[in-house]
């Protein structure tokens, strides 16, 4: 699943090195329209709904954080 998440991220912003970045939102690397594109694709790819309470920087700051968010929401 990590590979799928990474593929989505690289599709949205190919210029970012997701292996090392751990401050994607707080560091201003991802912009709001990037996040929205990522969320839409998570929702259709993993059949989940990312509700507003999960829309915090902490859940989107790194590849690993997003992977665990998707895992949580799939349960």
**H/E element, 14:** none
Residue of 3, 33, 47, 75 interacting with another protein (CB under 8 A): 33
Buried b (16+ CB within 10 A) or exposed e, 6-40: eebbeebeeebebeeeeebbeeeebeeebbebbbe
3 forms part of the interface with another protein (CB under 8 A): no
58 forms part of the interface with another protein (CB under 8 A): no
Residue of 1, 2, 40, 44 interacting with another protein (CB under 8 A): 40
49 forms part of the interface with another protein (CB under 8 A): yes
**Which CB atom, from 35 or from 69, has the smaller least distance to another protein?**
35
């Amino acid at each position: 699943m990590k590979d799928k998440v990474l593929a989505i991220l690289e599709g949205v912003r190919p210029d970012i090195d997701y292996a090392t970045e751990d401050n994607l939102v707080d560091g201003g690397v991802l912009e709001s329209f990037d996040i929205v594109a990522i969320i839409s694709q998570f929702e259709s790819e993993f059949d989940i709904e990312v509700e507003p309470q999960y829309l915090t920087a902490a859940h989107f700051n790194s590849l690993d954080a997003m992977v665990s968010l998707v895992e949580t929401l799939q349960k």
